[in-house]
């Protein structure tokens, strides 16, 4: 194990950023096993490369950027290899998700999940980084390496489509 | 070719998803770089028929749908440690035999398969 890779640092990385990395990965690939695999790879890369990070204040954005790049690379590799469309990652059946199994009984949440799946990966990622992780527009643009107008317009559309399914949810 | 600004009707259709895929691509390429149309979109939002609920509802719904496993932190720590050990083992073997990492990985995987059979 490299001297710089302190297990205590890994523990802190995982506790502080593991959930956000997993959610970002899942928003890209829509497959829980694959999202966890991407989260592992992200944490390993971040742990080993942390000594090279100059501005520790940007740690969260830096980790999320690694996660997004890893998720996109994984998805592209899957798509390049998969000849059968059924081999591509897609939203899991509700029965496979313990937390969602409960909420899927609610038709509104079923509609919400369906609306989420109709969004492209970039729009899903943007709305998750804004609504769940609380990143600013500028931070999202930096993490995803996309122009600011893209963040704003995709977020508007994603909010509209998703929120319209929640009007009866209380 | 420089794209013309989409009309408000087209932008509204893009927001609601009532637009052909080819047109969607064209509109999105334009929106990626046009601050003026981004502002136009913001002015269009929200349309009365699809007024979004409170953002807290959206945040809560997303948090439920994307909820990580309860023991994610432990699994990530164990997984990363195992991956690193495996990679370091491959680097040692590759160094010993002068093989590339990918070749070594394939050799080690083949070895595992033989053990299982």
Q: Are B46 and B52 in contact (CB under 8 A)?
A: yes
Q: How confident is the model at residue A90, as a pLDDT?
A: 55
With beta carbons under 8 A apart, name residues in chain B contacting A152.
Answer: 38, 41-42
Neighbours of A153 (CB within 10 A): 29
Query: Do A103 and B63 lie within an 8 Å CB cutoff?
Result: no
* CB-based contact B83 A44, cutoff 8 Å: yes
Chain B: give the shortest CA distance to residue A126, in Å.
12
* Alpha carbon distances (Å) from A132 to A63, A105, B16, B106: 16, 23, 22, 40
In the prediction, which pLDDT does B115 show?
44
- pLDDT of B68 > 90? The answer is yes
Local confidence band at A78 (pLDDT 50, 70, 90 cut-offs): confident
Is A28 within 8 Å of A121 (Cβ atoms)? yes
Q: Judge whether residue A17 has pLDDT over 60.
A: yes
Instruction: Check pLDDT > 70 for residue A85.
Output: no
Q: pLDDT tens across B49-65, in order?
A: 444 444 578 899 999 99
- Decide: pTM greater than 0.80: no
Residue from B38, B80, B81, B88 whose CB has the most chain A CBs within 10 Å, to mutate: B80
What distance in Å separates the CA atoms of residue A116 and residue B33, rounded to the nearest whole number?
25
Per-residue pLDDT of A133-165, as tens digits, reads 999 999 999 999 998 888 988 998 898 888 888
Across chain B, mean pLDDT equals 75
- pLDDT at position A160 is 84
Look at residues A84, A94, A161, A81 and name the one whose alpha carbon lies nearest to residue A124. Answer: A161
Q: Is the pLDDT of residue A67 over 80?
A: yes
Q: With pLDDT > 70 as the criterion, what percentage of chain A qualifies? A: 80
Q: Looking at residue A74, what is its pLDDT?
A: 93
- B65 and chain A in contact, CB less than 8 A: yes
For A:23-42, CB contacts with B below 8 A are 23, 26-27, 32, 36, 39-41
pLDDT at A111 over 80: yes
- The dihedral region occupied by B17, where left means phi > 0, alpha psi between -120 and 50, and beta the remainder, is left
Model pLDDT for residues B21-51, shown as the tens digit of each residue: 788 888 888 888 888 888 888 887 654 444 4
pLDDT (0 to 100) of residue B77: 94
Inter-CA distances, A27 with A123, A124, B103, Å: 9, 6, 33
pLDDT at A46: 93
Contact B16 A161 (CB under 8 A): yes
CB within 8 Å of chain A, chain B residues 67-96: 67-69, 72-73, 75-77, 79-81, 83-85, 88
pLDDT of the residue at B83: 86
Q: pLDDT-based confidence at A170, cuts 50/70/90?
A: low
Please give the pLDDT value at position A134. Answer: 92
- pLDDT given at position A34: 95
> Which residue did the predictor score with more confidence, B83 or B69?
B69
């Amino acid at each position: 194990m490299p001297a710089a890779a302190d297990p205590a640092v890994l523990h802190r990385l995982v506790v502080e950023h593991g959930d956000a990395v997993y959610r970002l990965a899942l928003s890209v690939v829509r497959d829980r096993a694959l999202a966890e695999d991407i989260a592992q790879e992200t944490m390993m890369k971040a742990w080993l490369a942390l000594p090279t990070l100059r501005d520790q204040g940007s740690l969260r954005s830096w980790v999320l950027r690694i996660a997004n790049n890893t998720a996109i690379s994984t998805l592209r590799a899957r798509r390049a290899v998969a000849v059968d469309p059924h081999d591509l990652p897609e939203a899991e059946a509700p029965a496979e998700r313990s937390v969602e199994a409960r909420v899927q009984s609610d038709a509104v949440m079923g509609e919400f999940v369906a609306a989420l799946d109709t969004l492209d990966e970039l729009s899903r990622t943007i709305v998750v980084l804004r609504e769940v992780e609380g990143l600013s527009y500028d931070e999202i643009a930096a993490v995803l390496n996309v122009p600011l107008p893209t963040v704003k317009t995709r977020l508007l559309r994603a909010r509209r489509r998703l929120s319209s399914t929640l009007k009866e949810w209380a | 070719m420089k794209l013309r600004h989409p009309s408000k009707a087209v932008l509204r259709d893009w927001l609601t998803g009532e637009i052909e895929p080819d047109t969607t691509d064209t509109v999105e390429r334009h929106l990626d770089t046009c601050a003026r149309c981004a502002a136009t979109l913001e002015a269009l939002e929200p349309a009365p028929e699809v007024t979004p609920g409170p953002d807290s509802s959206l945040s809560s719904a997303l948090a439920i749908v994307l909820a990580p496993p309860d023991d994610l932190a432990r699994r990530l720590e164990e997984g990363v440690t195992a991956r690193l050990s495996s990679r370091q083992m491959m680097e040692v073997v590759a160094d010993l035999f002068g093989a590339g990492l990918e070749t070594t990985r394939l050799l080690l995987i083949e070895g595992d398969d033989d053990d299982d059979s």
